[in-house]
Structure 1
């Protein structure tokens, strides 16, 4: 049915009507006093979301662009960095480091499992010469549905004394608590099309004083992504380059909605939806790709659908129920489906996707569950 598609993918995510309305406003001059007033409010609200007193800057960029800014602004060619790799996006940041001539040491962990913080601790403690300049961590690994123990990882990084923490929080910011100041994080990157309940197009990067100190001597090339320019202009509630003005309008409304709900309630809602989907999947006799509940992402759940082919299941859900799920990536292509449950989602959305999943499995000849088992499991967990 036209205009009925429901996005249950890990991004882009559904957008509230009030945000869509704000996006449709007539643009205003980005050097005007009116726009500066809006941007000033947005920058303060972003600090609230990041739980920080540090700078939070807005870029017209994707999450990848924001992560690239997080790397090039604080490092120099040949710098040694540790990249925590247990999924596709973590591997992307390692490849990015290679492209910039950094000495990137990959700390590998199995896909579908949380990274072992002890592996990072050992690598940092072995660096007695303090050559490691940064540790790059993907907090919520979208490709596998795993969340890494960022608090513990950050504690080991701080104990090193020299290394910066550079964090991909693209699918964790707004879905779970990322208290930048309390955890001592240095660089936190995220993007609009995930927990922010926005369309793609804006990137956000929060920067600690320690990272700004490193900026002073960083030698990697940068121009559009030079955060020093953004910081200088943000002090005057403006931007160094033309921003995505209408996305800023929408962001103002989205952040206001988040404040009305409250951080604790936002995080509890995402946790409840994660648990409901996981228990429903188990009740349907399917396997969770990331089986450890303690390491389950609040943003996305990866499901092994055998004996039903993953792409066949996705196609059936799209054709018959107008619901889009994400597929697997790289070595997981055709092997899993990924159910997004972050941002502008409520209990009805969770029950809808589970009921459609049940119906699709039955239609495709899979009958290893009692009718209604998934809905019953989801309902029980949503009621808690």
Structure 2
């Protein structure tokens, strides 16, 4: 018998409560019953983003849809955008801006490193008139977390909007929408929200609306103005994914019950244990001091085919890790530990990692990483 364990950067494991909520009988989306559920989800999402002033829109898409929606709503013809590129998803911001004909300046950050906020200051001083700064919070392709709290005041000082891809970071790392003066932030259902893929969420603060109202790029389905108008009536401009919204209500209930601060602490604790377990096996971390709590990126040991290990573990044991993307293919193993993950899941992950490495001929002492993890996770009362 094979049980499946999903330790990927997304989708992540889904709690039974959430799966059962999605399996409820279908209801019509233009009814008081659904409007009430949608209203509660929209309000609870504010808690997730840590905002009281902002509006949170639910989009029927992957996170990339939310990224495109942001570009279409905050930029106009002739505008300039500054994009932090530290991996595949920073690249995506740049690709989307260029797709809309926006002059795009990039800050290219070495893989495995976080952007230095001072480099953003330098870029804003060098190129005058930048309208929007786009960055990721957690770059899942490299396992890096960026210091959004330090970046925000720099962007504000220069009068630009700050748009943050927190698709992976929300529900894992602290993100304080109001306190940090973030203009727009996005997340997706299939990461820290413990949901299946299919929904994306955009939080728009009051500071962004004057720009959004005047923006002149083409937008129809992704129009934030329409979404804001319909949100006031507890509904959406177009047919929503009813079952996923009902599932999201259950997921948000779980997050609220645990408490968002406790959710952040749990992820920090599990991420630390995973990193230390990997290091106990003699492995080197890819992101080092910049490592996020979303996933642990581990450098491939010399002479070891990590992609072969990943495939064998997935097919034979049901434990799914991921490898590197694009130029990082074959150079790393990524172990996700976000969302519906607890102590014993991390124990399974490290045990599987040991097994895969040992069978591939890597000189690992079975149980060494596992012992380290257990010593960090055990609690003394």
TM-score, scaled to structure 1 = 0.96
User: Who is 1:71 aligned against?
Assistant: 71
Q: CA deviation at 1:126?
A: 3.6
RMSD: 1.1
TM-score by length of 2: 0.97
1:13 aligns with 2:12: yes
Q: Pick from 305, 322, 329: which aligns with 1:326?
A: 322
Q: Residues 197-249 of structure 1: CA distance to partner in whole angstroms, max 9, x if unpaired?
A: 00000010000112111012101101000011111101110010000000000
Deviations 1:88-125 (A, max 9, x none): 11011101111100010001110101111110011223
- What corresponds to 1:355 in structure 2? 351
How many corresponding residue pairs? Answer: 377
Q: CA deviation at 1:77?
A: 2.0
Q: Which residue of the other structure, out of 190, 214, 219, is the alignment partner of 2:216?
A: 219
Alignment counterpart, residue 305 of structure 1, candidates 283, 300, 305: 300
Could you list the per-position Cα deviations for residues 355-378 of structure 1 after superposition, in whole angstroms to 9, with x for gaps in the alignment?
Answer: 1111221111111x4331101221
Matches within 5 A, 1:184-223: 184-223=181-220
Query: In the alignment, does 2:373 pair up with 1:375?
Result: no
CA distance in 2, matches of 1:319, 1:22: 29
Offset of 1:318 from its aligned partner?
1.3
Unaligned runs of 5+ in 1: none
2:152 is aligned to 154
**More deviation, 346-355/357-366:** 357-366
3-state DSSP of counterpart to 2:339: coil
| Aligned twin of 2:83 | 83
Aligned runs of 1:3-152 on 2, under 5 Å?
4-53=3-52, 54-127=54-127, 129=128, 131-152=129-150
CA distance in 1, matches of 2:76, 2:20: 43
SS of match in other structure, 2:245: helix
* Alpha-carbon separation, structure 2, partners of 1:360 and 1:244: 39
Alpha-carbon distance between aligned partners in 2 of 1:376 and 1:159, rounded to the nearest angstrom: 49
Gapped regions of structure 2 (runs ≥ 5): none
CA distance in 2, matches of 1:253, 1:205: 19
Query: Which SS does the other structure have where 1:232 is aligned?
Result: helix
Counterpart CA distance in 1 for 2:99 and 2:116 is 26
Q: Judge conservation of contact 1:304–1:310 (CA < 8 Å) in 2.
A: no
CA contact (8 A) 1:274 1:301 kept: yes
Cα distance in 2 for residues equivalent to 1:370 and 1:62: 41
Name the structure 2 match of 1:315: 311
Question: Hey, what's the Cα distance between the residues in 1 that align with 2:36 and 2:81?
Answer: 39
Cα pair 2:300 2:330 within 8 Å, conserved: no
CA contact (8 A) 1:56 1:206 kept: yes
Which residue of structure 1 lines up, in the alignment, with residue 279 of structure 2? 282
CA distance in structure 1 between the aligned counterparts of 2:347 and 2:152, rounded to whole angstroms: 36
Q: CA deviation at 1:151?
A: 0.6
Tell me how far apart the structure 1 counterparts of residues 376 and 265 of structure 2 sit (CA, whole Å): 12
What does residue 366 of structure 1 align with?
Answer: 362
Query: Is the contact between residue 12 and residue 199 of structure 1 (CA under 8 Å) also seen in structure 2?
Result: yes
Instruction: Give the deviation of 1:326 after TM superposition.
Output: 1.0
Question: C-alpha distance in 2, partners of 1:43/1:318?
Answer: 36
